[in-house]
Structure formats: structure tokens, C-alpha cells
């Protein structure tokens, strides 16, 4: 009985696929038309730049006219041999580490707290914590730079008045403190968005599951460990990737607050590239060299992302 | 009774942590607004008071006209609206097309889109700049808007695709029965249904474009009159003698509009981000 039913069912699509194949594209003609604008923008501003960066990186080129001075791998050799590039790369990476290991856990703790319906004013708290996300980074960077100014800046005045320090702290001008200062500002600035991500993740924990845990006598920690965290884990990986992606693009803050200084102590790869390609004080821009730096940065990012891919795949597999 | 009281106390104790935290969080904003109303003299003398002694609007006047923040505001509005329209149009059409069942090549395309999400902008900025100049849009706000919208498309496309895929097939079949073609179905039936996604994507990209710095900076290097607020702010700082109170007023002009927009539409924004994370 089953075989007679199965056979025609299995056969129908096979029989139909042949004659329908040419019509398949015709049927979707309009869909392809609808895809054209996206393909143009995506092709022009994402795919092409990826390929073109490779091409440019083989030239010694100042951006005027088209590249003609082929130098082979010289730019790459220079990038890979430049301590300044590796330092900028390390700083970019440090921003990621701070976002992943400081911002993400802190935001999770606060999200768990702010997710409790018994907490009064929780919407107000969320709003306040989210404000820095909406504010323009360049503006915030400048305002904070004023507040942290060693000569008369408010933070230093408070520190001096309360006797916590006996000399003004040069938050942004000292090679050893500038980077931690910027990292703190970055955490402050990005905290709200990570908080929202976590709150979204916590919303996916089914209420009856929590209630069941409570009935079974699970306390707060046990419920967190055995109910909340396992449910949230797959989304946590997505959040990790989002946070990672954002931190790699750190540019505004560094550019506005320290311009990568003092003595390149806060330089990140985007400011490094900007300096070689666009800085108005440049005599001759080095597009080729900056492109090589971009390519190396892109490749290294790819490596890190690919290392995370198994995690991502597990999430996809677990979901569907 | 005491047990109940203890629960209330335990719950409210969190405010001891949250209130100071929030005060630290908003302090830079409060300071910025307060400084914008102070006279330069009062600012120099210092003092920790947040209430200006004799509040003045002079700083705003200076920032608006002398420092050209009026122009920058107009540029920012133009730039942001252009980005939002571009993203909405391009992402909704693409998302609609990708939601069609059985579209050939769909999986590959979506895969490529997702794979490029993690490309740092520093990597693609130079060819983007060359391309925009090449098509004759260099040193223009439209060129900058294209450069901003191009890489910002992936998430909106996925959002629209997810939304349109979830709409029951019957609805479209009904539209077809009534004689609506592909275009009309998209424009008259599907797009109005997608209002929540349209709102979210519009707001996310509006805030993103308003706050954008890298792209507008690079694309207005040759024409300072086209600067947006963020870039203009930065130019302000670079001068030899810094006009602190004017700077604070300029900062208010840059930040307050977007904060107000956000306050009114925060629900859409937060839910939109939440939806994007969940799906």
C-alpha cells in the first residue's frame, strides 16, 4: 500500500523538473528585477571594494589617476614588517576583547536585573543606559575629552579635591593610560546596545519553564544555570558576533578623542588606514599601502570570524 | 509580615546600585547641556555647579551661524534622509524578491550577504571612495549617502526577507486573483503590511546615518561646506583656541535632535533590535 503511494509522489517532481526548468527563471523574472538595486549597491560598495583593495595593494599609488606603478608584494612586506601596523591591529583587537569580556558580561548582569518585572523604574533605567548609544560618537568623544582634561577638567578636579590623587591624571595624554581610558569610554558608549541584545535574548526564555523551575524548588542561581543560560546561549553567540563586528569598526571615538595618539598608543587599524590614505596633512596619500593594510586587516578578521564559525553553525543547527 | 518586608527591601536595594550608575551614565549629557548655556567667563572660572548663573543663548547663536552648524544640520538631515530612503527602497525590494519560494540562487546570495557582514569598513573605504568619485558623485552628499547605505544593507534585507517569508501565501494568491501583478502586490499589499519592519529599519538607519562619522568625514574632506554635524564638531575642536561653550552648544545641536527622535520612537527601535537579534 505504502509503496504505491510513495512512487507517484516521488516521481512527480522528477517528471516536472525537466520541462519546467527553463520556465523557472521566467517565472522569477520580476524577482530578479527587484534584486537589481540591491545587487548594484552591494556589488559596488561591498564586493567590488573587497576585490579592488587587493588590486590596489600591489601598486605604489597616490590616488591620482589610475594605478600604474606595480610594486608586487612590497606593500604587503612593509605592512607585515611594520611594528606600527601590528600595534594598531593589537589595539583594534583589544577593543574587541574589552567589548567581549567586560561589556558583554556586565550587560548580561544588568539585563538579568532589569528583566525582573518587580523592579520599579526599570524602563527609565534602560532608557538612561541606552542614551550613549544614540548620541554621536564624535560629539561624545569631544565632551569626554573636555571632562577628562588634566588642566581644569572636571574629573581631575574632583579627584584632586577629594584627595584621591595629588597630581592631575593625564587620562588621554599619557601613553599608558590613554588606551584604558578609551576602552572605558567605548564600553560606556556601547553598553546600552549590548544590554538591549541581552534583554531580547532573555525574552526568549519561556515563562512556564521558569515557573516550572521555581515549583521544583530551584533558587535564583540554579534557575539561571539550568534554565536561563542554556536557552540564551545560542543567541549569545549571535550577540558575540555583533559586538565583535562593532568593536572592529572602532574609528570615530579614537579619531575624535586622541587621533591615535599619544605616540600612536591608541592607534587602531581604521585610523592607521585613514592616516595613510586620507589625512589632509599628507603630502602624497599612499592608497596602495593603505589598501594592503586593509587587506591584511580583512584577512585577519576573516580568520577570527572563521574560528567562530563552528559556534555559529551549532546555533543554526540547534535552531532548525 | 516581616518576611514580606524583607522581600520588598531586597528588591529595592538594587536602586542603591542603579541610581548612582545612571547618574554617572547621563552626567556627560547633563554637563554638555549646562555648559552650552554658560557664559565663556563662567566656564573658565569653573565651579562644579550645573546650573548656569546667568543662562545665555549666545553660544547657540555662535555655533549656529559663525561655526556653520546651521548648514551642518541641514546637511545631516539631507544625508540621513537620503540614506533612509535608499535603504528602505533597496532592502524592501530585495527582501521581497528573496522571500519568493523557489527563487534560484537564493541560498547562495543570502550566504554571501551574511558572510560579508563582518568585513571591517577600514578595509573597503578606499575603493568605495574611488568608485564614488569615478561615477561623478565625489564631494557630494548623495555620493556619501550611497557609500553609507551600501554596506548597511545586509541586516535590513534579512529583516525584510524574514518578514515577507512569514506572510501567508493565501494573501498573495488572493491579490493575484484580483488581477494585481508583481509590482502592485508588492507596493499595495505587502509593503503596507511591512510597516513595523519599515519603521525599525528607517529608525535604525536614521540614527546610524545621523551619527555616521567615517564616511561623511572621508567624503567631505574636499568640501567643508558639506560637512555633517559629527564631522563639523570635530573640525571645531581642531582650531587653535577652543571656544568651549560654543563647542558645548554645537554638541547639543548635534545630539539633542536624535535623542528626541529616539525618545519618541524608542519602542519601535528597541523592539526592532530585539526582533533582529531573535530571528
Contact yes or no for A74/A93 (Cβ under 8 A): no
Q: Cα B178 to the chain's mean position, in Å?
A: 39
Q: Which candidate from A125, A137, A291 shows the least CB-CB separation from B126?
A: A291
Q: What is the pLDDT confidence band of residue A5, given thresholds at 50, 70 and 90?
A: very low
Please state the pTM of the whole predicted model.
0.83
List, for residues A223-235, the tens digit of each pLDDT value: 888 888 888 888 8
Closest-CA residue to B90 (of A130, A206, A43, A257): A43
Give mean pLDDT, residues A94-99: 93
Better pLDDT: B198 or A117: B198
Instruction: Give contacts of B48 with chain A, Cβ < 8 Å.
Output: 154, 157-158
Instruction: Give contacts of A239 with chain B, Cβ < 8 Å.
Output: 277
Cβ–Cβ of B277/A201 closer than 8 Å?
Answer: yes
Contact yes or no for A180/A291 (Cβ under 8 A): no
> Any idea what the Cα angle at residue B79 is, between residues B78 and B81, rounded to 5°?
65
List, for residues A246-266, the tens digit of each pLDDT value: 888 888 889 888 887 788 888
Cβ–Cβ of A297/B255 closer than 8 Å?
Answer: no
Q: Cα A282 to the chain's mean position, in Å?
A: 29
Cβ–Cβ of A139/B229 closer than 8 Å?
Answer: yes
Contact yes or no for B279/B162 (Cβ under 8 A): yes
Task: Quote the strand ranges of chain B, DSSP E.
Answer: none
Give mean pLDDT, residues B177-191: 86
What's A285's DSSP letter?
-
List, for residues B97-142, the tens digit of each pLDDT value: 999 888 888 889 988 888 887 777 777 888 888 889 888 887 789 9
Q: What is the pLDDT confidence band of residue A281, given thresholds at 50, 70 and 90?
A: confident
**Cα–Cα distance for residue pair B172/B176, rounded to 1 Å:** 6
CA distance A110 to chain B (A): 9
Q: Is the predicted pLDDT of residue A139 greater than 50, yes or no?
A: yes
Q: Is the predicted pLDDT of residue B278 greater than 80, yes or no?
A: no
Classified as helix, coil or strand, A216 is: coil
What is the ipTM, given to two decimal places?
0.83
List, for residues B34-76, the tens digit of each pLDDT value: 888 888 777 766 666 677 777 788 889 988 888 888 999 999 9
Count of CB atoms situated within 10 Å of the CB of B113: 20
| Cell numbers that stand for B2 in this block | 516581616
Q: Is the predicted pLDDT of residue A41 greater than 80, yes or no?
A: yes
Amino acid at each position: 500500500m505504502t509503496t504505491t503511494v510513495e512512487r507517484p509522489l516521488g516521481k512527480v517532481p522528477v517528471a516536472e523538473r525537466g520541462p519546467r526548468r527553463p520556465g523557472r527563471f521566467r517565472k522569477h523574472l520580476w524577482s530578479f528585477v527587484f534584486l537589481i538595486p540591491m545587487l548594484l549597491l552591494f556589488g559596488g560598495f561591498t564586493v567590488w571594494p573587497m576585490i579592488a583593495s587587493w588590486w590596489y595593494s600591489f601598486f605604489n599609488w597616490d590616488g591620482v589617476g589610475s594605478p600604474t606603478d606595480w610594486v608586487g608584494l612590497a606593500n604587503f612586506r612593509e605592512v607585515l614588517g611594520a611594528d606600527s601596523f601590528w600595534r594598531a591591529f593589537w589595539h583594534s583587537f583589544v577593543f574587541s576583547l574589552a567589548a567581549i569580556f567586560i561589556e558583554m558580561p556586565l550587560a548580561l548582569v544588568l539585563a538579568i536585573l532589569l528583566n525582573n518585572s518587580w523592579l520599579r523604574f526599570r524602563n527609565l533605567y534602560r532608557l538612561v543606559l541606552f542614551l550613549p548609544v544614540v548620541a554621536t560618537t564624535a560629539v561624545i568623544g569631544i565632551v569626554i575629552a573636555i571632562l577628562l582634561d588634566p588642566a581644569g577638567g572636571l574629573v581631575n578636579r574632583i579627584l584632586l579635591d577629594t584627595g584621591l590623587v595629588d597630581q592631575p591624571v593625564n587620562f588621554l595624554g599619557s601613553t599608558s593610560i590613554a588606551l584604558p581610558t578609551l576602552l572605558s569610554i567605548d564600553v560606556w558608549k556601547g553598553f546600552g546596545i549590548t544590554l538591549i541584545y541581552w534583554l531580547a535574548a532573555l525574552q526568549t526564555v519561556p515563562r512556564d519553564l521558569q515557573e516550572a523551575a521555581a515549583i521544583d524548588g530551584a533558587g535564583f542561581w540554579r534557575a539561571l544555570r539550568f534554565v536561563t543560560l542554556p536557552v540564551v546561549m545560542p543567541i549569545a553567540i549571535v550577540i558575540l558576533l555583533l559586538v565583535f563586528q562593532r568593536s572592529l569598526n572602532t574609528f570615530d571615538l579614537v579619531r575624535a578623542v586622541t587621533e591615535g595618539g599619544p605616540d600612536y598608543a591608541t592607534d587602531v587599524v581604521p585610523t592607521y588606514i585613514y592616516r595613510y590614505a586620507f589625512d589632509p596633512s599628507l603630502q602624497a596619500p599612499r592608497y596602495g599601502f593603505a589598501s594592503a593594510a586593509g587587506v591584511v586587516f580583512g584577512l585577519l578578521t576573516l580568520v577570527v570570524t572563521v574560528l567562530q564559525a563552528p559556534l555559529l553553525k551549532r546555533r543554526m543547527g540547534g535552531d532548525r | 509580615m516581616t518576611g514580606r518586608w524583607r522581600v520588598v527591601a531586597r528588591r529595592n536595594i538594587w536602586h542603591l546600585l542603579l541610581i548612582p550608575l545612571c547618574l554617572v551614565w547621563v552626567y556627560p549629557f547633563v554637563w554638555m547641556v549646562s555648559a552650552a548655556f554658560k557664559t565663556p567667563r563662567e566656564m573658565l572660572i569653573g565651579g562644579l555647579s550645573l546650573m548656569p548663573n546667568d543662562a545665555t543663548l549666545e553660544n547657540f547663536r555662535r555655533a549656529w551661524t559663525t561655526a556653520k552648524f546651521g548648514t551642518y544640520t541641514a546637511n545631516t538631515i539631507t544625508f540621513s534622509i537620503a540614506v533612509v530612503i535608499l535603504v528602505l527602497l533597496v532592502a524592501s525590494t530585495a527582501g521581497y524578491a528573496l522571500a519568493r519560494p523557489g527563487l534560484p540562487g537564493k541560498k547562495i546570495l543570502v550566504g554571501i550577504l551574511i558572510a560579508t557582514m563582518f568585513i571591517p569598513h577600514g578595509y573597503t573605504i578606499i575603493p568605495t571612495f574611488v568608485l564614488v568619485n569615478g561615477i561623478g558623485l565625489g564631494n557630494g552628499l548623495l555620493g556619501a549617502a550611497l557609500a553609507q547605505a551600501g554596506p548597511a544593507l545586509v541586516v535590513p534585507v534579512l529583516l525584510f526577507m524574514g518578514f515577507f517569508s512569514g506572510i501567508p501565501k493565501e494573501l498573495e494568491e488572493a491579490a493575484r486573483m484580483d488581477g494585481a501583478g508583481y509590482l502592485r502586490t508588492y507596493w499595495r499589499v505587502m509593503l503596507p503590511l511591512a510597516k513595523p519592519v519599515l519603521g525599525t529599519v528607517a529608525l535604525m538607519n536614521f540614527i546610524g546615518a545621523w551619527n555616521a562619522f567615517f564616511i561623511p568625514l572621508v567624503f567631505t574632506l574636499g568640501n567643508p561646506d558639506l560637512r555633517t554635524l559629527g564631522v563639523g564638531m570635530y573640525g571645531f575642536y581642531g582650531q587653535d583656541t577652543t571656544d568651549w561653550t560654543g563647542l558645548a552648544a554645537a554638541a547639543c545641536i548635534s545630539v539633542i535632535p536624535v535623542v528626541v527622535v529616539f525618545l519618541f520612537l524608542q519602542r519601535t527601535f528597541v523592539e526592532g533590535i530585539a526582533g533582529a537579534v531573535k530571528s
